[in-house]
Structure 1
């Protein structure tokens, strides 16, 4: 009889020995925890959904719309499909090839100045022992200025008559230059202004990467008799290779889309079309010629070129690793 009573009591208490009241409290606690988890996940996914909607509306939708418009033609408010006609028109335009030559020239000059100079400035700042914070602020100051203000400042500096640069050259008894008014110097003038405006960010990124290099590597190199250049070549560059590769790719993609500097400094075209870039030609097609189909087609060509270059670059970088 006692055994039957104990068995019934265990049955009432359940597999874990909980009574009816305890099971109810545990169930309420589990349901409360589940509701809190659901509410937390809903809030997190709500913020994520908002970001995805903004990204899709302001980034992916214009890209998809551009692809569609590159195969369309709008005339008198009526849109019709024209196939590859827009691509044929831009390939037949002499300005298309000149814009690509100018863009590639700008990219090459920007890599020589805008990629190398920030790296060596970062090395110099890393080697200094005093006034580091002040010099970092000084280097980053141009980035904090509005781009339009920086460009107009350089436009004043480049003035052939009363510009600062020609005054300095005259004081040094050197020949002056026409700067933006000459086809031979207009592009390099744009590159100099762009390098000064944007080098602060790259310099600080390089500086952060340099500070992660163990000091023991430099000490070992010095014990082996390595000078400054050999330490940079054998220690600094290999240790910052990932950052150098990433910034090289980002800078090439960014410089290929240059627009603000040539537009404000030379009006876009420059002397004899020497500063006409691909993005400025897109602007001309769309807003000067009201040819949105050709503008979209040229934008699509640039998208494919940059995407192809990025894919090849990433593939080569992985193979080299």
Structure 2
């Protein structure tokens, strides 16, 4: 008959009993010890509550109300949502926003990454090129938008048409000729002014890649494109996926470009610009809030689906 050796268990229990029990500090002492941390945390929570959470809650409430410029309100239920969905400008604004987002993925997402790869490969004047790439971010966005509005001036006084004239090419009606070209012009400005911060993030990710991986790829005979595809992209996949999510969410909230550069002419009204029109041009804050809630739900749904898909793909790998 087998015997069970209880000596190890008894010794372990004896050591646990002999070990002095650690007493938890009173709540007051713990609060005083962490008072500085709680103070900083309270400031952050207060800022979020005042400038983020309260406006969001207020927007949801106003979407079920009729509110005019005088401040008088009355409950109208889902009438604001019905009005927004029945407005032809609603679907036109979504088409323009989707087109802007699509072009932004082609230019605003790819160009900063390849720019970061080129700057990272430089052996001389790397800091100078970093500053040169980041310089547009330091410009006031409104001033930069007016500058590019002058670039796109349809007559020969605009910079781009002046360059075409110097090359003996015909002038182009950049913002007036077609809807597609107008949206593309807005995307080019958005890419130019926003790429600086994105390039720095990509540079930080690229500098974290071990050099041994590139050396091994070179020994295997891999060229520049193969090293980029098989080493650089896999090693920066997390940063690329995060920036893709932020890129789509940011471009779907575009407002400055159509407001200043085109004035929403040539049917370049985006969803956020339509919200502005509802509130300040049509004096209909309820419909503006309803459209804002619709945009919020679309972005939350997209972000949730994107994160779920990324988690599923990560589990399969």
Same fold, judged at TM 0.5 (above): yes
Q: Deviations over 1:47-92 (max 9, x none)?
A: 2112211210110000001111111113575422211111111111
User: 1:285 and 1:212, CA in 2 relative to 1: closer, same or farther beyond 3 A?
Assistant: same
Specify which of 148, 161, 167 is matched with residue 162 of structure 2: 167
**1:238-317 superposed matches below 5 A:** 238-267=234-263, 269-271=264-266, 273=267, 275-317=268-310
User: How far apart are the structure 1 equivalents of 2:255 and 2:84?
Assistant: 19
How many aligned positions are there?
Answer: 288
Q: Which one of 128, 133, 142 corresponds to residue 139 of structure 1? A: 133
More off after superposition, 166-175 vs 291-300:
166-175
CA RMSD between the two structures = 1.8
1:63 corresponds, among 53, 56, 77, to: 56
Matched, 1:200 2:177: no
**Using a 3 Å threshold, how does the CA distance of structure 1 residues 257 and 34 change in structure 2: closer, same or farther?**
closer
| CA-CA distance at 1:245 after TM superposition | 0.2
Q: Which moved more, 1:70-79 or 1:302-311?
A: 70-79
| CA distance in structure 2 between the aligned counterparts of 1:296 and 1:189, rounded to whole angstroms | 29
SS at match of 1:258: coil
Q: Decide which of 42, 47, 56 is 1:49's aligned counterpart.
A: 42
Larger Rg: 1
User: Does residue 100 in structure 1 map to residue 100 in structure 2?
Assistant: no
Give the match's secondary structure for 2:66. Answer: strand
Moved more, 54-63 or 70-79: 70-79
Match of 2:229 among 228, 233, 242: 233
- Consecutive unaligned residues of structure 1, counting only runs of 5 or more, are 1-30
How far apart, CA to CA, are the structure 1 residues paired with 2:28 and 2:297? 47
Per-residue CA shift, 1:12-48, capped at 9, x if unaligned? xxxxxxxxxxxxxxxxxxx9x9987543422321221
Is the CA contact 1:186–1:270 (under 8 Å) kept in the aligned structure 2? no
Give the CA deviation at 1:225. 1.2
Take 1:170 and 1:224, find their aligned partners in 2: how far apart are those partners? 49
Determine if contact 1:183/1:270 at 8 Å carries over to the other structure. Answer: no
User: Quick one: distance in 2 between partners of 1:127 and 1:66?
Assistant: 48
Secondary structure of 1:73's counterpart equals strand
Q: What is the distance in 1 between the residues matched to 2:190 and 2:144? A: 9
2:208 matched to 1:220?
no
Per mean C-alpha deviation after superposition, the further-off stretch among 101-110 and 177-186 is 177-186
* Structure 2 alignment gaps of length 5 or more: 1-24
- Runs (4+) of structure 1 exceeding 6 A deviation are 33-36
- 1:88 is matched with which residue: 76, 79, 82? 82
Task: Tell me: CA distance 1:68–1:34, structure 2 relative to 1, closer, same or farther (3 Å).
Answer: closer
